[in-house]
């Protein structure tokens, strides 16, 4: 299995631009998570989906952030408009959620908003 695949690996954009991060979970996993990691705040859960349905988006910082999961093999996290304080590493993770609560993370997207 190729594991969780995220793209792009790096994204540099200017303040005010729209940013879209992409994730392909492990085949067969029924839950998908978006995390953000910064030095100051560590790893924070933004949103998670179960069977393609958003279950908890309480971690989404504000309305500029949105996430979708149109099918079991693809999810996007969009920031519009982007701000410098959004600069961080964004991770996608997936899980089977069958009582075995293990998360499998992608390699992340390093986002820099100038």
Partner 1 sequence: QKEVEQDPGPLSVPEGAIVSLNCTYSNSAFQYFMWYRQYSRKGPELLMYTYSSGNKEDGRFTAQVDKSSKYISLFIRDSQPSDSATYLCAIGRGAQKLVFGQGTRLTINP
Comparing CB distances to partner 1, the nearer of 18 and 59 is 59
Comparing CB distances to partner 1, the nearer of 3 and 84 is 3
- List residues near partner 1 by CB under 8 A: 4, 31, 33, 42-45, 48, 50, 55-56, 91, 93, 95, 97, 101-108, 110
Least distance (Å) between residue 81 CB and partner 1: 27
Least distance (Å) between residue 57 CB and partner 1: 12
Least distance (Å) between residue 96 CB and partner 1: 9
Q: Is the dihedral of CA 45, 108, 50, 3 positive or negative?
A: negative
Q: Which two tokens stand for residue 55?
A: 């279950």
């Amino acid at each position: 299995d190729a594991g969780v695949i995220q793209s792009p690996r790096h994204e540099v954009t200017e303040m005010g631009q729209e940013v879209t991060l992409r994730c392909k979970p492990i085949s067969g996993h029924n839950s998908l998570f978006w995390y953000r990691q910064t030095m100051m705040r560590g790893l924070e859960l933004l949103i998670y989906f179960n069977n393609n349905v958003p279950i908890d988006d309480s971690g989404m910082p504000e309305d500029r952030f949105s996430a979708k999961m149109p099918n079991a093999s693809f999810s996007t996290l969009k920031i519009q408009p982007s701000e410098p304080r959004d600069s961080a590493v964004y991770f996608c993770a997936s899980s089977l959620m069958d009582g075995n609560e293990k998360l499998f993370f992608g390699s992340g997207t390093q986002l820099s908003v100038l």
